Amino acid sequence: MPSLTLPECPHYIPPPETKEDLEFADLPIIDLSKAHTPEGRAELYPQLRDALRTHGFLYAINHGHTQAQRDRVFDVAGVPFDSVSPDEKKMYTADVEKVGYYAGYKPRQFWKVDTENQILDQIEHYAINLNVTKRPHPTAVRPFLPELDDFARHNHFNILHPILRLIALSLELPEETLVEKHNFDRTGETSVRFMKYYRRSNDEEEKSKNVWLKGHTDIGSITILWSQPIGGLQIMAPDGKWKWVRHIDNGLVINTGDMMTFLTGGYYKPTIHRVIQPPSDQRAYDRLGAYYFAMPDNDVRLLPCAESPVLKRAGIERQCPDDDSPSCETWRKGRTTSYGRTDLKKGVERGVEEEVIEGIVVKHYN
């Protein structure tokens, strides 16, 4: 078979890894290649369970993409930011507060990072629905749609679904229980998202105490981050300290979000994480990232899997009465339209700000 010629784009050259002596989170690593057999899944699910219950985050390796394929993803990730004019970007910028999802561009200076000092973010997004042809794209992005479709499918079927099967096994549920709530061909807003964190002024760094994205939990069920060389991501460790997430070449960083807490009755709680200024030896670079933000289908009610023997033994922590449980679509819209836009109220805990979404308190951490 002749090799396919891929459309050209600038090659992403990552900076050297930091040499700084940072306090890294001790996250477990799971080998996803073992998830292809029943025996492998039986070995993996206790590892995943313990990692997510302890840290809320884990690394995954051997996910089916080579280093060259991963490098190509980062080449393509730069196209929406570097090959599209500002005027054309405006044509593909969604009114997030109106539609309740990220589609196309989220411009810089859209979110409030520090309300008191009026500091806004310097993060640009380009979000693509898992059905990559669902919405139009800028001219420069269109030649890459076949590759973006392959990337979405790889994330969905070769990473997300195996992770969901392991979670179901950990709850002593049929393997497909959560997979059936995360279909590829149903209406929903699971998305590929590319993000570019631009360097900030000294004044912005000082006023925001070097925080680029304040402590938060993710909206969806599972987040897949393709490990990026430039540091900045920190998680709130079990000891209550912020710790850095280490880069692993061609590795994935996987965490659970709000919707998984609903579905597992609090058994899998999302871990607070944030993004801060990179280490000093990487501050001359903008920070580029590639993600897959997974959510159940729009019409899935966010009810606990109460039939789980594990949850029956452990006890179910409901976020709200079952009759009031929101749908995935309702929760997504509430969280997405308010995130970084509303004025938060100071919480009881030190450094915590709060808002209420669908009657449920959502916390943000500084």
251-293, pLDDT tens digit by residue? 999 999 999 999 999 999 999 999 999 999 999 999 999 999 9
Between CA 146 and CA 148 the distance in angstroms is 5
Which pLDDT score, from 0 to 100, does residue 1 have? 32
pLDDT digits (tens, 9 = 90+) for 97-153: 888 889 999 999 998 887 677 889 999 999 999 999 999 999 999 999 999 999 999
Residue 85: CB partners within 8 Å, gap ≥ 6? none
pLDDT at 93 over 80: yes
* Average pLDDT rounded to a whole number, residues 295-300: 97
pLDDT digits (tens, 9 = 90+) for 142-183: 999 999 999 999 999 999 999 999 999 999 999 999 999 999
Which pLDDT score, from 0 to 100, does residue 3 have? 47
Between CA 340 and CA 354 the distance in angstroms is 12
pLDDT digits (tens, 9 = 90+) for 58-76: 999 999 999 999 999 999 9
Strand runs (DSSP E) across the chain, as ranges?
A: 29-31, 57-61, 104-106, 112-114, 119-120, 123-129, 191-197, 211-216, 222-226, 233-236, 242-244, 252-256, 273-276, 287-294, 345-346, 352-357, 360-365
Which pLDDT score, from 0 to 100, does residue 340 have? 77
pLDDT digits (tens, 9 = 90+) for 240-251: 999 999 999 999
pTM of this structure: 0.95
Q: Which residue has the higher pLDDT, 319 or 130?
A: 130
CA distance readout (Å), 336 to 99, 113, 160, 219, 251: 9, 15, 22, 8, 28
pLDDT at 2 over 50: no
Task: Provide the mean pLDDT of the chain.
Answer: 93
For residue 31, the cross-strand partners are 61
For residue 222, the cross-strand partners are 256, 294
Alpha helix (H) residue ranges in 113-241: 145-153, 161-170, 202-207
Which pLDDT score, from 0 to 100, does residue 361 have? 81
Give 4's pLDDT tier (boundaries 50, 70, 90): low
Which pLDDT score, from 0 to 100, does residue 260 have? 97
Q: Which long-range contacts (CB under 8 A, 24 or more apart) does 69-72 make?
A: 70/226, 70/250, 71/11, 71/12, 72/6, 72/147
Amino acid letter, 347: G
Which pLDDT score, from 0 to 100, does residue 101 have? 87
Give 352's pLDDT tier (boundaries 50, 70, 90): confident
pLDDT digits (tens, 9 = 90+) for 5-33: 899 999 999 889 999 999 999 999 999 99
Which pLDDT score, from 0 to 100, does residue 341 have? 79
For residue 234, the cross-strand partners are 244, 274
- Residue (of 34, 41, 335, 325) closest to 179 by Cα position: 41
Q: Is 341 helix (H, G, I), strand (E, B) or coil?
A: coil
Question: Residue 220 gets which letter from DSSP?
Answer: S
Between CA 101 and CA 363 the distance in angstroms is 20
- Residue (of 151, 171, 147) closest to 160 by Cα position: 151
Which pLDDT score, from 0 to 100, does residue 342 have? 78
